[in-house]
Amino acid sequence: MAKTLIRSLEQSDVVSLKFRQASSQLLTDFLINFNKRNKDNLNSLSKYSGSFKRKRLIEYILLITRELRLDPLAGYHAIELLQRFMIEHLTDLLTTPTPPGATAEQPRSYEDAIFDKLKDKFPLIVFSCVQLASKLSLYSRMIDNNAAVRFLHSVGHSVSKQAVLESELMVLKGLEFKLNVPNPLTFVEMLLEVLGHNEPSIPVDRLYHLCQHVLQFISLQRTAIFDALLMTTTRCVTPSRELREKFVTVTEDCMLLGVGVIAVATFILHFRKWKQVVGELTHITGISRRCISDFAHVTLVHIVGTSFPQL
């Protein structure tokens, strides 16, 4: 994105973003590219998408990101890398033919043995995704193997540099070296850049700070918020499994999440601008006012812990 990176001389990890630095043509190109990437992602989703975005796992990754003083982008990128890798890795493991006699020799199933083995490696796999994400971020330091070993030792995982390297390579190969995946915070930044260009009176710099908190809240309360959104949009109190599987295209839609985050932040920070911002977001993305309002309403209900009139 076209944003200025400002590093404090005293604190090299402190990053400030400055919006309204991009030309109209550059913003148009970014918007087209992000829209295409989002649609391509939605068209190739697995029915298991979202399985590795549980609250405790997301919290764990975001805490690692904060502890290592990485840019928040790295954390959200790591979450996406982890989900893609684990779905592919488990699919490969579980579709591999069972070794002859394996089931008869073991009291538990072959699948249980796979999960037990994977459970021991999982913390390192998670960290490998954070490490890879740090190497892709332009705004935070890169976590090398020495730093990785020190950090993992500090949280009780005794691993060698070789193990860290092998885990990183395993994740890379599992992802087929395709690391440029949609990241919800990147979408928020891009949409704020376009929003600030189209309507200079909107305080996008202040909104960005609040948007990060809103995105974190939605990510941690993901299951509850999207369950409520599913019931709101389908008018069904007990959605079927089939309906939930179809709804994965909504839960994984980075563009919808991006506009929803901005709408919620605007409602909280600058209510008088809310209708104007929602109108601009609809114009920019093609997502209807109703969809944006429903997403914002459901999220705000979970933030304040009580119901209020529909937006």
Q: Is the pLDDT of residue 102 over 90?
A: no
CA distance linking residue 82 with residue 52, whole number of Å: 7
Residues 7-39 have pLDDT tens digits of 332 333 445 567 777 788 888 998 999 999 999
Position with higher pLDDT, 8 vs 95? 95
Residues 206-221 have pLDDT tens digits of 999 999 999 999 999 9
**pTM for the full predicted model:** 0.87
Q: Range(s) for CATH 1.10.472.10 in the chain?
A: 52-174
Mean pLDDT of the chain: 86
* Mean pLDDT (whole number) for 73-95: 91
b/e string for 45-59 if b means 16 or more Cβ within 10 A?
beeebbebbeeebbe
3-state secondary structure 35-80: HHHHHHHHHCCCCCCCCCCCHHHHHHHHHHHHHCCCCHHHHHHHHH
- Report the CATH superfamily, name and number, of domain 52-174: Cyclin-like (1.10.472.10)
* Mean pLDDT (whole number) for 248-255: 95
CA distance linking residue 41 with residue 73, whole number of Å: 18
Taking residue 23's Cβ as centre, other Cβ atoms within 10 Å add up to: 10
Tokens of 290: 């109703």
Residue 260 CB partners (closer than 8 Å, separation 6+): 218, 292, 295, 296, 299
Position with higher pLDDT, 123 vs 103? 123
